[in-house]
Amino acid sequence: ALLGKDLGALRDIVINANPAQPPLSLLVLHGLLCQRYRVLSTVHVHSSVSNVPPQLVSCLGPRHADSYARHMFQLGFTLIWKDVPKVQMKFSVRNMCPIEGEANVARFLFKLLAPYPSDPAAATTVDSWLDMAFFQLAEGSPKERAAVLRALNSALGRGPWLSGAEFSLADVACYCCLLQSGSTSSAPANVQQWIKSCENLGHFSPAKRLLQ
Amino acid sequence: AAEEDQQAQSKKALKKQQKEAEKAAKKAEKQAKLVCCVFYFLSSQDFAKDRYGVSVMVQSQQKLDRVLVQVQHLTPEKADQVIWLRARVHTSRAKGKQCFLVLRQQQFNVQALIAVGDRASKQMVKFAAAITKESIVDVEAVVRKVEQKIESCSQQDVELHVERIFVISQAEPRLPLQLEDAVRPDGEGEEEGRATVNQDTKLDNRVIDLRTTTSQAIFRLQSGVCQLFRDTLTNKGFVEIQTPKIISAASEGGANVFTVSYFKTSAYLAQSPQLYKQMCICADFDKVFCVGPVFRAEDSNTHRHLTEFVGLDIEMAFNYHYHEVIDSITDTMVQIFKGLRDNFQTEIQTVNKQFPSEPFKFLEPTLRLEYTEAVAMLHEAGVEMGDEEDLSTPNEKLLGRLVKEKYDTDFYVLDKYPLAVRPFYTMPDPNNPKYSNSYDMFMRGEEILSGAQRIHDAQLLTERANHHQIDLEKIKSYIDSFRYGAPPHGGGGIGLERVCMLYLGLHNVRQTSMFPRDPKRLTP
């Protein structure tokens, strides 16, 4: 329903991202989508950028063996490295405006995997973790970052994942932004333990590989 | 009756105008002659009489050891040097004791100054001022730096102080069109009440029109396209072939071919080197390309049709899947686009000044969509069309816009066309007999290439030809080529003029054809 009417052809999600800031959380979500759907993943380089590093060009993994037949897939995931100020997602250009911002794109993709918590309070908590991750953790000053780490630490004292018992988009976003900000080693105890549990899930290997 | 009267009147007015124009021309010519005579007379008592004049016709009487400097190399590093150069008089403006000339060489120009002094006499300045526009002159001059940049010239930091000036070739005083008018952007002339030149006048006087900076840039870029095409394919191991253009039978139907008389029988002008490309594949050339004229006898007078154009054709054998061919062609195109973006920025900017357009955008690797996806996108946009219907030109353009909106690319491939809308030699899709292994490529929403995997099996080819009700006798030699072992192969052909037009975002293919041929134009 989220993708609209089925017109009997590949439904392609296009994501424009700047190679200077690879959207790690979206790569993680891509991996999760591949477990659920038959996804045709392709990476392109737009003419507005040149010299994109090879690890970015191959960041969605090797080409699917059936990629010559686009109609055999349920979902297209087309990542375009492009000179854009913000991550941008385009899906149905006639009925939907482009979605800007990594957090918003991540919300859209995650809804294809699992429904948001039906409890409004829980849903809002997930949303607020997302904003904290992308604004304060990824782009904030060291002081702001330290504040988020403290908040993470106390939240993770109450349960194994950020929104309680279930792994959610909040965990994906916070983990990726933490990885990108490079402050994993200085994190407090509960956060350290949570990082380990995240890594045990195996969802984050594409993001980690890109940072090496 | 009133109408007739009016017509008669307008005819009279036309005649009157014509007569007046002739008179003016004669007057101008007379004046020019007179001026020349006066100068010759005066020059007999002129101290600078050896420093200017009309040279005798160059008939290779002598071989001078004179180095002529290129205008584009006139930079501040050459300041205070005495140099010789040959250029055209672009404009001249006399003001009392001095005369300013703009000397032009291809798309570059420089300001030159002749002032009365110990080098130049009053008569010399007058002579310089009377040189007709577009005449070719040899000039000896000192290069001087200028304090204020000369905005109207390409060489902004220097000017030339002329010491000698000789006319090598004199242009007639009246030009059929003014170069400044020919490069004026559309719309700008109307606001300022200045003239613009319409397309037909430009084409009728192509030699002069080709001297404009815009034309110079267009055709330099076109040469670049050809070179990049050749270089890229040669690097990929392709062999360039030459094919005959006079052929005995039309390869696909006879409706749109020119017939020429050929001794006691008749022949046709090739509408594509298709047949010969494929024969070369059967003759083990593996990967071939061909650059040459292609003829279409379609009586269509549109912005994108010519009756003769330059075709860039590719044909290659592949291993297992025709996408190997698509990848090869799209990569070639991307190399051309990149080469133009990186090496022809000056030319692109020059054309943009007269014909503004968005820079050409593309993806690497090239975007490939399937026909069903395109139909779904069009359905979503409210277009009603059948699954196996061919794309109409408006739908093609709309699809181009939709793809641009979503993917932001001006170049993409549409794959898996319905079999019914493709020629008989197109290989059917093994998984769905309604579709075929064929593809079109688009630039700015207009088709530039049509290609497919060809049938390399004589039996299937015969079947398909029968299905299309083609007379087997006429294509016997074509079918026979595949009887003695033929590798799977595919290819496509691009129109050079269209590629240039669409890359630069121009609106008429005649702008990118040096001497265009269409149903209504055979000259120049």
Cβ contact B323–A95 (<8 Å): no
pTM: 0.88
Whether the CB-CB separation of B129 and B101 falls below 8 Å is answered with no
- Helix segments in A48-141, DSSP class H: 54-57, 102-111, 120-131
Whether the CB-CB separation of B98 and B112 falls below 8 Å is answered with no
**C-alpha separations of B271 from B92, B228, B247, B378, B523 in Å:** 49, 24, 9, 32, 21
Cβ contact A80–B321 (<8 Å): no
Chain B residue with minimum CA distance to A46: B363
CB atoms closer than 10 angstroms to residue B59: 6
Interatomic CA distance for residues B218 and B499, integer angstroms: 12
Please tell me which residue, A212 or B457, carries the higher pLDDT value. Answer: B457
- Helix segments in B213-259, DSSP class H: 213-235
Chain A residue with minimum CA distance to B430: A69
Q: Which amino acid is at A36?
A: R
**C-alpha separations of A66 from A18, A60, A83, B77, B321 in Å:** 28, 15, 30, 61, 12
The number of angstroms, rounded, from the C-alpha of B51 to the middle of its chain's C-alpha atoms is 41
- Helix segments in B172-304, DSSP class H: 179-182, 188-192, 199-204, 206-209, 213-235, 274-282
**Which pairing describes strands B287-295 and B239-240: parallel, antiparallel, or unpaired?**
parallel
Residue A211 has pLDDT above 70, yes or no: yes
Helix and strand numbers, DSSP H then E, in chain A: 8, 5
Interatomic CA distance for residues B197 and B227, integer angstroms: 31
Q: Which residues contact B265 (CB under 8 A, 6 or more apart)?
A: none
Token digits for B196?
A: 């613009």
What pLDDT is stored for residue B30 in this prediction? 74
Give the model confidence (pLDDT) of A90-144 as tens digits. 998 888 899 999 999 999 999 999 877 778 888 899 999 999 999 998 888 889 9
Residue A5 has pLDDT above 80, yes or no: no
Interatomic CA distance for residues B475 and B482, integer angstroms: 12
CB atoms closer than 10 angstroms to residue B522: 9
Query: Positive or negative CA dihedral for B254, B260, B266, B268?
Result: negative
**C-alpha separations of B171 from B37, B47, B68, B136, B328 in Å:** 17, 27, 21, 8, 50
Interatomic CA distance for residues A30 and B442, integer angstroms: 30
Contact status of A186 with chain B (Cβ, < 8 Å): no
Residue A7 has pLDDT above 80, yes or no: no
User: Token pair 């991550």 is at which residue?
Assistant: A87
A-chain residues near B380 (CB < 8 A): 7, 92, 94-95
What pLDDT is stored for residue A185 in this prediction? 77
What pLDDT is stored for residue A1 in this prediction? 62
Contact status of B431 with chain A (Cβ, < 8 Å): yes
Cβ contact B372–A71 (<8 Å): yes
CB atoms closer than 10 angstroms to residue B319: 7
- Closest by alpha carbon to B131, among B253, B275, B241, B32? B32
What pLDDT is stored for residue B435 in this prediction? 95
Give, for all 524 residues of chain B, the pLDDT tens digit.
Answer: 566 666 667 777 778 778 887 887 787 777 766 665 555 555 556 788 889 999 999 999 999 999 999 999 999 999 999 999 999 999 999 988 999 999 999 989 999 999 998 888 999 999 999 999 999 999 999 999 999 999 989 999 999 999 999 999 999 999 999 988 888 887 676 667 778 888 888 999 999 999 999 999 999 999 999 999 999 999 999 999 999 999 887 665 556 889 999 999 989 999 888 889 999 999 999 999 999 999 999 888 999 999 999 999 999 999 999 999 999 999 999 999 999 999 999 999 999 999 999 999 999 999 999 999 999 999 989 999 988 899 999 999 999 999 999 999 999 999 999 999 999 999 999 999 999 999 999 999 999 999 999 999 999 999 999 999 888 888 888 899 999 999 999 999 999 999 999 999 999 999 999 999 999 999 88
Cβ contact A93–B379 (<8 Å): no
Interatomic CA distance for residues A192 and A199, integer angstroms: 11
- Helix segments in A96-201, DSSP class H: 102-111, 120-131, 142-158, 169-181, 189-201
Counting Cα atoms < 13 Å in the Cβ hemisphere of B401 gives: 8
Interatomic CA distance for residues B491 and A39, integer angstroms: 30
Contact status of B401 with chain A (Cβ, < 8 Å): no
Q: Which amino acid is at B406?
A: K
Token digits for B102?
A: 């703009």
Residue A87 Cα, gap to closest chain B Cα (Å): 14
Task: Enumerate the β-bridge partners of residue B91.
Answer: B102
Whether the CB-CB separation of A72 and A39 falls below 8 Å is answered with no
- Closest by alpha carbon to A12, among A79, A107, A58? A79
Token digits for A105?
A: 């794109």
The residues of B annotated with a catalytic role in the active site are: 296, 298, 304-305, 447, 450, 498
Contact status of A54 with chain B (Cβ, < 8 Å): no
Interatomic CA distance for residues A190 and B227, integer angstroms: 63
What pLDDT is stored for residue B111 in this prediction? 96
- Nearest-10 crossing angle of helices B496-504, B323-343: 50
What pLDDT is stored for residue B1 in this prediction? 57
Whether the CB-CB separation of B212 and B241 falls below 8 Å is answered with no
Cβ contact B381–A94 (<8 Å): yes
Interatomic CA distance for residues B52 and B58, integer angstroms: 16
Within 31-90 of B, beta carbons closer than 8 Å to A belong to none
Cβ contact A46–B321 (<8 Å): no
Across the beta sheet with B246-247, the strand order is B246-247, B265-269, B259-262
B379: three-class secondary structure by DSSP: helix
Contact status of B375 with chain A (Cβ, < 8 Å): yes
Within 331-350 of B, beta carbons closer than 8 Å to A belong to 337-338, 341
User: Token pair 């983990």 is at which residue?
Assistant: A175
Interatomic CA distance for residues A202 and A166, integer angstroms: 16
Cβ contact A47–B375 (<8 Å): no
- Nearest-10 crossing angle of helices A142-158, A189-201: 80
Substitution target from B372, B384, B401, B410 for chain A, most A beta carbons within 10 A: B372
Burial readout B132-159 (b: 16 or more C-beta within 10 A, e: otherwise): bbbbbbbbbbbbeebeeebeebbbebbb
What pLDDT is stored for residue B118 in this prediction? 85
Contact status of B406 with chain A (Cβ, < 8 Å): yes
CB pairs under 8 A between A and B: 65
